[in-house]
Amino acid sequence: MKEETFLNIIKSILPESVKYIGDDTAYIPEKDLILTQDTLIENVHFRHNTINPYYLGRKSVAVNLSDIAASGGIPQYILISLSMPENTDESFIKEFYKGVNSICQEYSTVVIGGDLTAAKEISISICAVGSGEGLIPASRRTAKPGDVIIVTGNFGSSATGLSLLEEIFNETVAISEISEEIKKKFINSHINPVPRIAEGREILKLADKPAMMDSSDGLGDALYKICQASNVGMEIDFEEIPYDKDIWEVFADENTVINRVLFGGEDYELVATVSEEIYEKLKKEIFVKKIGAVKSVDEKSGAYVKFKDGKSLKIDSKTLNSSAFQHFRQIKK
């Protein structure tokens, strides 16, 4: 069963909640509150051999701050529920919360509570609280034909880093052919993502109701979800998508590179739609790259990625089910 199916069931049972469900965050306008919650599960979202407790603490907070960034909001508070085996060493707690503290200090965010419980495996559930500070947060539902599609950074780096970590763990021969500098760069992208708080705020401040979300589940997933939420089509030029060209030092196969860039996930870059005029203003203030255009559903139904050989790929639920990260498909029984 897919995540989208679960969400539709929840919406049908909780009709009064529908207006809050569907974006990276929920917004309570009467309180000017932006709320989000994410959970990281051992052996689903992370493994001990691919990330240490310090960076796990940082990343656990970063993924929630990224949701706040996708709304254009300002993060303020964090609550952490940490479930773990009873034999967990105290050093894990110390390093985990050192990582939490380091990223919270960077973004002026304070841990105000949470919960500690026993479990068979580590589970980290974090609620982040922020504010619009006078601005209505961005949504996925406001993309308009004629808008351009912009992104805030490289895609495919985190998935490449994870692949390298798994290769290192398996001690394969191929890993020795890649320079330490390249390995370190991609691995850092995976274990230490950067929430684009400043970029999200700038986009929200300059644009008139931008559609925006983060790419936690991949660029292709974000493009598809914005199309679905806004009832628009998209045309994307793969050659315009920013990615670190050193990825070719890790994967020689073109199809693998394309898969990592479009569907790798966990890059936590922002994907937004704005007018051409706003894009010209934004690129003078922050790094943003135009990768395509929003179309009406009459012109394009769904998101199409064009390649230099003239071929194209339609990103739909079928494509995502076969290529992208799906939470419930990853669980091994």
Domains of the chain: 18-131 (3.30.1330.10), 148-326 (3.90.650.10)
Tell me the whole-structure pTM to 2 decimals: 0.91
Q: Strand 74-84 vs strand 123-131: parallel, antiparallel, or unpaired?
A: antiparallel
Q: What is the mean pLDDT of the chain?
A: 91
End-to-end CA distance of the chain: give it in Å, rounded: 14
The pLDDT, as a whole number, for residue 326 is: 46
Between CA 13 and CA 220 the distance in angstroms is: 29
Between 41 and 177, whose confidence is greater?
Answer: 41
Cβ count near 30 (within 10 Å): 5
In this predicted structure, the answer to whether residue 318 has a pLDDT above a threshold of 50 is: yes
In this predicted structure, the answer to whether residue 23 has a pLDDT above a threshold of 50 is: yes
Of the pLDDT bands very low, low, confident and very high (cuts 50, 70, 90), residue 331 is very low
The pLDDT, as a whole number, for residue 114 is: 95
pLDDT tens, residue by residue, 38-89: 999 999 889 888 999 999 999 999 999 999 999 999 999 999 999 999 999 9
pLDDT tens, residue by residue, 216-266: 999 999 999 999 999 999 999 999 999 999 999 998 889 999 999 999 999
